[in-house]
Amino acid sequence: MENHLIFIVGILCSLWLLYKLISFIYPYVRHSNIKKYLVNDAYAIITGSTDGIGKAIAIALAQNGFNIILHGRNPDKLQVTATELKTNYPERKVICLLHDGSKNSQMNIEAIKHLPITVLVNNVGIGPINELAKFSGSQIDETITLNTAFPSQLTRSLLPQFNSPSLILNVSSYAGLFPPPYLAVYAGTKAYNTAFSISLARELENTEVISLITGSVNTGSNTKPVKFMRPSAATYAKHILSIVGCGKKSIMPYWPHAIQTFLISLLPERMIDNATKKAMQKELNQPQLT
């Protein structure tokens, strides 16, 4: 009887582990549902879209047939990006929105209120590295405003005009899962982004909301060389679109990051603390870009 019970428990545990393995693999091998949102001359709006991940997502969406609404705070960079898109994808319509979300969380969207928007990518964000006591009050306010208030206000403003079905992608970070030292404010905002996404996903009908947990990606602010564990922004953008429709409210789009994060989670907390502190102290000695 005892051996029979152990056998049953073993089978159940094996089935549970198999289920967890399949659940992990499935989002990365299935076909993307991004075309589901390409209806009625659809537009996609991407914040912080003049370089890095935001620009790469804008290009990937244009490649998939979407008209593009670019957002940025630098008029010259906006124009350069818009020209690039129009040159490479002349059949796409491109609109620019100039706004500094770190200064004012509410952007005027009158210019796009008449457009059939089906995709919103809340990408823009900053992550200055420093000891909390050495941050200025304005640095803290601007980081929190840009990373949390701005995407929240923009999402609220756009919800009434979204065409159904619609998609919201919120770019978060592994820093919200394993908050490193010297990034207290940034890590806090990224934890907010993920919680905001999951709550909104449970609230909205006919709108897919996903928090994109982002690891190390080669961008304008992270100039470390591209390698397997640090993909280019273009590669990362393709992985983002590939997981659309996966059924997850929060996911690491780049599967090597997901494996890396899982392995890190198995380590003792003190080891994680020591490793992240040493790594971030090295970052403190390098020039910071936002």
Of the residues 37, 174, 186, 254, only one is catalytic, namely: 186
Give residues with Cβ within 8 angstroms of 213, minimum separation 6.
Answer: 172, 173, 174, 176, 177, 194, 250, 251, 252, 253, 257, 261
- Our separate counts of H helices and E strands in the chain read 9, 7
The candidate with the shortest Cα–Cα distance to 241, out of 56, 85, 20, is 56
List all residues 6 or more positions away from 130 whose beta carbon is below 8 Å from its beta carbon: 182, 284, 288
Question: Residue 37 is encoded by which pair of tokens?
Answer: 């949102």
CA distance 23 to 10: 20
Rg over CA atoms, the chain:
20
* Residue type for position 132: L
φ/ψ (deg, to 5) at 218: -75, 115
Q: Is 186 known to be catalytic?
A: yes
Catalytic residues: 186
